[in-house]
Structure 1
Amino acid sequence: MLKDEDLLLRCALPKERNLLWRQIFLDNEWKALDAPYTPLEYQSRLYFRMNLFKRLRDGETALVIEYQGQLVGYLSCYWEDQSTRWLEVGITLFESQNWGKQLGRRALKLWISHLFKKYELARIGLTTWSGNPRMMRCAEAMGLTLEGRLRKVRFYQGKYFDSLRYGVLREEWFSQVSKRVLAEVS
């Protein structure tokens, strides 16, 4: 469990399975900004329980985000290439009422700090697209560096967008992140 005031990152509870499934596959307002050019593949409740929900329950590669006692999203990480220790992070905040409150920034700071402490990594990455300016501002405000821009590779609603790769090195992260955040993940 990772905590920053009224924000908590934790494992999912069994009773939250249906709520999470609904937020991800039915009430998916979040998908409008989270790679909308890639169709969301519907998962049955059983498949969800055996895959993403299992990850959220285990807490190794995904955690739910609770804000003021409400489940508002989740964080994840995945190996782009485990043999070279290339780890990527992702975040989903379900509803627009929670966007623009810096919840994503606060949650990602805890998550990235936790992952750097957990794994022997030189770098952590985050990929987004130019159609998500909030995620771009979030990454930049957290000190992630824009390392790559693949121009016009995302086609959505009749327009081309760029794919953006951000990253932060371990030494950069620990030199800039607040001691309070580091204390929270110890």
Structure 2
Amino acid sequence: MHMSEPLKGSLVQLENLKEKDLHELWDLIYNEDHPEWRKWDSPYLTLQPIEYEKFHDQMLNLIKQGLDKQLVVKVKEKMIGVIFYDWEHESSNSLEIGIAIYHPAYRGDPYVSDAIKTWMDYLFYTFPIPRIGLSTWSGNDRMIKIGKELGMMVEGRIRKSRLYRGKYYDSVKLGILREEWESVQ
């Protein structure tokens, strides 16, 4: 699914990851010991530091293999994060999307909403999928709000399944069916 042209939303642009992007991406992810973005993006998972050279080699290998499930999110040529999909169950055409906005100035709703909307438009257009899912945790109220504003419904909660700073949070599963997406567009 390597795209020949970037996907353009009203505020963001989604592009293929290129070798020239790797240092900027590494810097956004790993340059701080306790980055702000970690408070929202699965903070209960450990972020393992990695040297740039190793990151570069691993990511370049993925790019050469046709990394096609992850795109870079940019605003006016400035990288702010990544957006991706993964097959939850490919033979059932069931996929999940995710987004990580690393740059703090762009973590607001309009940028995230625009990126997710642009991505879902593209995925529904590209694949014969009946549904798109998004999983987050109950501590990320903004992501739940954005999902609902885009027409997603809370389809399930796995109670007290995420431990963060001594407190349990729920895993929250949101989703939207193709026909629901088409009716709100």
Aligned counterpart, 2:68: 60
Given that residues 120 and 132 in structure 2 are in contact (C-alpha distance below 8 angstroms), is that contact kept between their aligned partners in structure 1? yes
Within the alignment, does 1:40 sit opposite 2:43 as a pair?
no
Q: Which stretch of the first structure deviates more once superposed, 159-168 or 99-108?
A: 99-108
Q: Among 152, 173, 185, which residue is 1:165 paired with?
A: 173
Following superposition, the deviation at residue 146 of structure 1 comes to 0.3
Unmatched runs of 5 consecutive residues or more in structure 2: 1-5
- Cα RMSD over matched residues? 2.1
Paired residue type of 2:101: L
Paired residue type of 1:79: W
Following superposition, the deviation at residue 46 of structure 1 comes to 4.9
Q: Which stretch of the first structure deviates more once superposed, 13-22 or 160-169?
A: 13-22
Q: Among 30, 33, 43, which residue is 1:25 paired with?
A: 30
1:134-181: per-residue Cα shift (whole Å, max 9, x none)? Answer: 11111111110100011111111111111100000011111112xxxx
Following superposition, the deviation at residue 6 of structure 1 comes to 3.9
Within the alignment, does 1:139 sit opposite 2:147 as a pair?
yes
Paired residue type of 1:31: R
Given that residues 22 and 59 in structure 2 are in contact (C-alpha distance below 8 angstroms), is that contact kept between their aligned partners in structure 1? no
Given that residues 13 and 57 in structure 1 are in contact (C-alpha distance below 8 angstroms), is that contact kept between their aligned partners in structure 2? no
Q: Among 12, 19, 30, which residue is 1:14 paired with?
A: 19
- What TM-score comes out, normalization by structure 1 length? 0.86
1:41-61: per-residue Cα shift (whole Å, max 9, x none)? Answer: 334445534555635994621
Aligned counterpart, 1:2: 7
Q: Which stretch of the first structure deviates more once superposed, 1-10 or 41-50?
A: 41-50
1:26-85: per-residue Cα shift (whole Å, max 9, x none)? Answer: 334311111111112334445534555635994621111111231111100001111221
Q: Distance in 1 between matches of 2:55 and 2:133?
A: 25
Identity across the alignment (%): 34
Given that residues 145 and 168 in structure 1 are in contact (C-alpha distance below 8 angstroms), is that contact kept between their aligned partners in structure 2? yes
Q: Distance in 1 between matches of 2:71 and 2:79?
A: 11
SS state of the match for residue 42, structure 2? coil
Q: Which stretch of the first structure deviates more once superposed, 10-19 or 138-147?
A: 10-19
Given that residues 12 and 57 in structure 1 are in contact (C-alpha distance below 8 angstroms), is that contact kept between their aligned partners in structure 2? no
Aligned length: 177
Aligned counterpart, 1:115: 123
Given that residues 12 and 56 in structure 1 are in contact (C-alpha distance below 8 angstroms), is that contact kept between their aligned partners in structure 2? no
Q: Which stretch of the first structure deviates more once superposed, 144-153 or 90-99?
A: 90-99
Given that residues 30 and 93 in structure 1 are in contact (C-alpha distance below 8 angstroms), is that contact kept between their aligned partners in structure 2? yes
- What TM-score comes out, normalization by structure 2 length? 0.87
Q: Distance in 2 between matches of 1:2 and 1:56?
A: 21
